[in-house]
Structure 1
Amino acid sequence: MASFPAVLQSEWTKIRSVRSTAWTLALAFVVTLGVGVLASVFTAKDFRAPGPGETPFDATAVSFAGMMLGQLAIIVFGVLAVGNEYSSGMIRVSLAAVPQRATLLLGKCAVLGGLALAVSLVTAFVSFFAGQAALGDHGTTLGEPNVLRAVFGAVLYLTMLCLFAAGVTAMLHNQTLALGLLVPFFFLLSPILSIVPYAKNVARYFPDYAGSRMLAVYEPADQPYGPWAGFFICLAWTVAAVAGGILVLKKRDA
């Protein structure tokens, strides 16, 4: 019976040996930062103050304008970190070494979550400070109400998306299928449904929409719930995906 620390060490070694995982994490940082800075520069040049009755200008949201592309990179990281074992056949070796399948997947998720958390923490804070510098006089600070909470919300959101993607990949046993499902869902289907009448009432409870509530400094009146509810909805999706991955891993052959 393999101990959990030994599983963590093994999973860390496996993830370090796959070059694509490092590239996807680096891409998440570069894309989120780059798009956020560009959006901040253009906003500062063509700034228009909100009128009476409009939602106040959210400088934090502008610096996180690259989050949609960055989240795709973190999703790809989660998919590849799990899916590479299935595509290479290494999953059989892993299961031979760690017969406790729940322990194996939880160990992998712990390592993935730790890496995603570290990269997301750097990405969120660097993107925020760079964006506010580009906004100049229109920027904000971490000391303003709800700003620090929104920045940490971005960190948790990206981390949970990574684990959600890992859980879905474990359920599907196929990284190509997982990417073919998750990328269109987060990049096309969910954003489209969120603006379609009637369908948007369902789409508001998708993980990406719930996660976006965590990043909001100001809450428009038409939002069905606030940042903390968004956190728990996103967390529920993540837990369900990982639990589903464990269940499938126990029931199906590698």
Structure 2
Amino acid sequence: MSTTAVLRSEWIKIRSIRSGFGSLLAVLVASVAVALAVFPSIGQPEAATGEIDRLFWLYYPMNFVQIAAISFGATAASSEFLNGALRNSLAAVPRRNLLFGAKTAVVGAAALAVGVVAGFVMFFTANAFLGPYAVGIGEPGALRSCFGAGLYLALITLFSMGLTFLLRSAVAVLSILIPFILIVSFVIGGVSEGAATWLPDRAGQQILFQEPLGTLGAWTGIGVTALWAAAALLAGWWSLRRRDA
């Protein structure tokens, strides 16, 4: 099969598997739903305290949106290990490098496109309720953060996908990553803030700050997350190449 045909087939897989496509749509739904649930009531009081970066506060929904992105990456990969689907995929595309590369490209592109939209949605929805504390799109870092949100979500999706190819289980990956991001990351931050800066979620989210914290800048932080994603994808590629279907 040609590269174009394989890319098209991977996109068909994403659209036809309800759990994966539902997780992708959940990225958008969560970005709107959480913003509407939080900012009308506590948006301005929290911004008025001055204890949090004004720009980063707009992306509070990211705490939940990234879970949907992780789920999308995990389900997109785990679908290959259900009911012998990988054997069928390899029968159609014997070149494992092409199969893995096409899936990575399609999953990453879909997550990036939806993530960028979600970034703008979070930005403008939150701002609608902040009154005098709103951040204009022309302010320093604002436009960067909208596109950066999409880039971060794409990388965290690929990180999840790579781990799923390695472990061959979406349940295992979700059981590891979701508690890690929601709990362990904050525990490590409480013990050693310097070490926590290099974790994939903490590093990547520096791009959402108007004034990034710690030693990593906005683009350096997203670069660290990219290295985490690349390492996971490399491990997943190795697993696909070396293990039986």
Instruction: Say if 2:47 and 2:57, in contact at 8 Å, map to a contact too.
Output: no
Note if 1:246 corresponds to 2:241.
Answer: no
Determine the C-alpha separation between the residues in 2 that align with 1:96 and 1:29.
Answer: 35
The range that moved more, 31-40 or 240-249, is 31-40
Indicate which of 196, 220, 245 corresponds to 1:229. 220
Gaps of 5+ in 2: none
- Cross-structure match for 2:44: 44
Give the 5 Å matches for 1:162-201.
Answer: 162-197=157-192, 200-201=193-194
Instruction: Say if 1:39 and 1:62, in contact at 8 Å, map to a contact too.
Output: no
Deviations 1:126-168 (A, max 9, x none): 1111111111221011111111111211110001111111111
User: In the comparison of the two structures, how many residue pairs are matched?
Assistant: 244
SS of the residue 1:194 aligns to: helix
Give the 5 Å matches for 1:76-91.
Answer: 76-91=71-86
User: TM (normalized to structure 2)?
Assistant: 0.93
Give the 5 Å matches for 1:126-205.
Answer: 126-197=121-192, 200-205=193-198
1:95–1:62 distance in 2 versus 1, CA, 3 Å: same
1:183–1:88 distance in 2 versus 1, CA, 3 Å: farther
Give the share of equivalent positions with the same residue, in percent. Answer: 37
Q: CA deviation at 1:22?
A: 2.1
Q: Which amino acid in structure 2 is aligned with residue 204 of structure 1? A: T
Q: CA deviation at 1:46?
A: 6.0
SS of the residue 2:130 aligns to: helix
Indicate which of 104, 108, 130 corresponds to 1:109. 104
Determine the C-alpha separation between the residues in 2 that align with 1:232 and 1:142.
Answer: 24
Instruction: Say if 1:75 and 1:161, in contact at 8 Å, map to a contact too.
Output: yes
Instruction: Say if 2:20 and 2:75, in contact at 8 Å, map to a contact too.
Output: yes
SS of the residue 1:165 aligns to: helix
Q: CA deviation at 1:49?
A: 5.1
Q: Which amino acid in structure 2 is aligned with residue 228 of structure 1? A: W
Q: Which amino acid in structure 2 is aligned with residue 72 of structure 1? A: I
Calculate the aligned-residue CA RMSD, in Å.
Answer: 1.7
Deviations 1:22-81 (A, max 9, x none): 22122222222222344332122565253xxxx7x6332222101011101110011001
User: TM (normalized to structure 1)?
Assistant: 0.90
Determine the C-alpha separation between the residues in 2 that align with 1:107 and 1:47.
Answer: 43
Instruction: Say if 2:163 and 2:236, in contact at 8 Å, map to a contact too.
Output: yes
Gaps of 5+ in 1: none
Determine the C-alpha separation between the residues in 2 that align with 1:36 and 1:251.
Answer: 44
Instruction: Say if 2:70 and 2:157, in contact at 8 Å, map to a contact too.
Output: yes
Runs of 4+ in structure 1 off by over 4 angstroms are: none
Determine the C-alpha separation between the residues in 2 that align with 1:231 and 1:179.
Answer: 22
